[in-house]
Amino acid sequence: MRVRPTGIAALGALVALVTGCSWGTGGTDTGAAASPTATTPAPTTSAAPNPLPGMPEVTDAGNVYAAAGAGMLGPAAASARPMVYVPHNSGEVWEIDPVTFQVVAKFPAGREVQHVVPAWDMQTLYATDDIGNTITPIDPTTGHPGARIRVDDPYNMYFTPDGAAAISVAENLKSLVFYDPHTWAEQGRLSVPECAGIDHADFTPDGRTAVFSCEFAGRVAVVDVPTRTVLRMIDMPTRHTRMGPQDVKLAPDGSRFYIADSDQGGLWVLDGAATHVIGQIPTGAGAHGLYLSRDANQLYVTNRHANSVSVLDARTGAPITAWAIPGPSSPDMGGVTADGSRLWLSGRYNREVYVLSTVDGHLIARIPVGKGPHGLCVWPQPGRYSLGHTGITR
């Protein structure tokens, strides 16, 4: 999202769970409310019997993130220089040493840099500039930037699970633009006019289906990866069109998708096949970023307007605890360290970066940075390949 909201008071984090409610099969807005007495449906394991050709095999049907556990660095990631990359809407990327918490380098990367995105093969990072229509490659072994590459409106960026295409999530164009991830020649584009504010995404275990959030339309777009077509649009039970659906995360067992909704103050839950909404989970005002613990047992939800991070059971959505970040604060995007011990987050509206312990949530460090820190990337990350964003690895 490009525009900072105004006039939203910080609220306390909510941890009441409301799941298991069904609102139909998608594509329509029924306006039904969640039942406070509903029970959580038992999660089902989802194997990948017919995976997208070329996608690495799902090794554990109960945990699609099994190859991204603590310390499981592939060759490319293992050779990287440990660093935290902080893109700023001012156009710079700042590099922070994760041991000393010191800013060790800065470089320009465009007019309004939104995210630092790991490539599918994890050999390159890309700083995305949607206003300047470029991405800046970063060599993770040195931290040095390369020559900018022309890409249309790269607000966010993902990679198809087979590594065959980079996807520029062109928010302003209401489109997905597909590129060859090596030559950056355009492969084609998918117009999604009903998905205003197209933003974040995640993929089913078989890699064949993607769910993209539509922040300004109060819905999600479900996309068929092989044919690059829209399968359906799913309206949220309450359609927020100012700061609506945000980050998307697949549960480890593939049984559900979590959709953060800032104005709802929590998560919507889709079924694993991405056909309809099955529940909601209140967390806190400004629910935005979704991150998994290294063992994939916990889901961290950043509540950007509530000065908090909610901790949920990653498979059921049941609340575990909430971690407060003394205000004023605005926990936004980031990632978990390779060993799983720390959660790094940008403070979107407060010119700072937060480092939290994943053991008990206490604030380890609060680091001053520049204006508009956004899609922070912690590097290196475990895993065999990257789906993009700030480091969705499997």
Please give the full DSSP string across 23-39, using - where no structure is assigned: --SSSS---PPPPTT--
- CATH number, domain containing residue 282: 2.130.10.10
60: in domain: no
Cα–Cα distance, 247 to 264 (Å, whole number):
13
For the chain, the domain total comes to 1
pLDDT for the residue numbered 9: 34
Amino acid at 298: Q
Instruction: Flag whether 274 is in a domain.
Output: yes
Round the CA-based radius of gyration of the chain to a whole number and report it: 19
Distance CA 214, CA 300 (A): 21
**161 neighbors 52 (Cβ within 8 angstroms):** yes
pLDDT at residue 1, rounded to an integer: 53
The number of beta carbons lying within 10 Å of the beta carbon of residue 111 is: 14
Residue 2 CB coordination number (10 Å)? 12
Cis-peptide, bond into residue 380, ω within 30° of zero: yes
φ and ψ of 75, to 5 deg? -55, -45
If residue 77 lies in a helix (H) or strand (E), which one and from where to where? helix 75-78
Whether residue 13 lies inside any domain: the answer is: no
pLDDT for the residue 41: 41
Nearby residues of 6 by Cβ (< 8 Å), 6 or more positions away? none
For position 37, what pLDDT does the model report? Answer: 28
**Inside any domain, residue 352:** yes
In a domain, 323, yes or no: yes
Are the C-beta atoms of residues 42 and 339 closer than 8 Å to each other?
Answer: no
- pLDDT tens digits, 132-172: 999 999 999 999 999 999 999 999 999 999 999 999 999 99
pTM over 0.85: yes
Residue 54 lies in a domain: no
Query: Which pLDDT belongs to residue 48?
Result: 75
Residue 8 maps to a domain = no
Q: Running DSSP on this structure, what letter comes out for residue 386?
A: B
Q: How much is the pLDDT for 49?
A: 80
Residues 248 and 223: their CA atoms lie apart, in Å, by 14
Residues of the chain with pLDDT under 70: 1-47
**Which residues, 6+ apart, have CB-to-CB distance to 101 below 8 Å?**
355, 365, 367
Terminal-residue alpha carbon distance, the chain: 26
Cα angle for residues 388, 390, 393 (degrees, 5° grid): 55
Q: Using the Cα atoms of residue 169, residue 171, residue 172 and residue 175 in order, give the sign of their dihedral.
A: positive
Query: Is 112 inside any structural domain?
Result: yes
The pLDDT, as a whole number, for residue 13 is 35
Q: Which two tokens stand for residue 142?
A: 């040195």
Contact 227, 52 (CB under 8 A): no
Q: What is d(CA 56, CA 262) in angstroms, rounded to the nearest whole number?
A: 33
* H or E element at residue 78: helix 75-78
User: Domain span at residue 115?
Assistant: 66-379
Nearest to 113 by CA among 333, 380, 366, 394: 333
Instruction: Quote the CA–CA distance of 251 and 162 in Å, as a whole number.
Output: 20
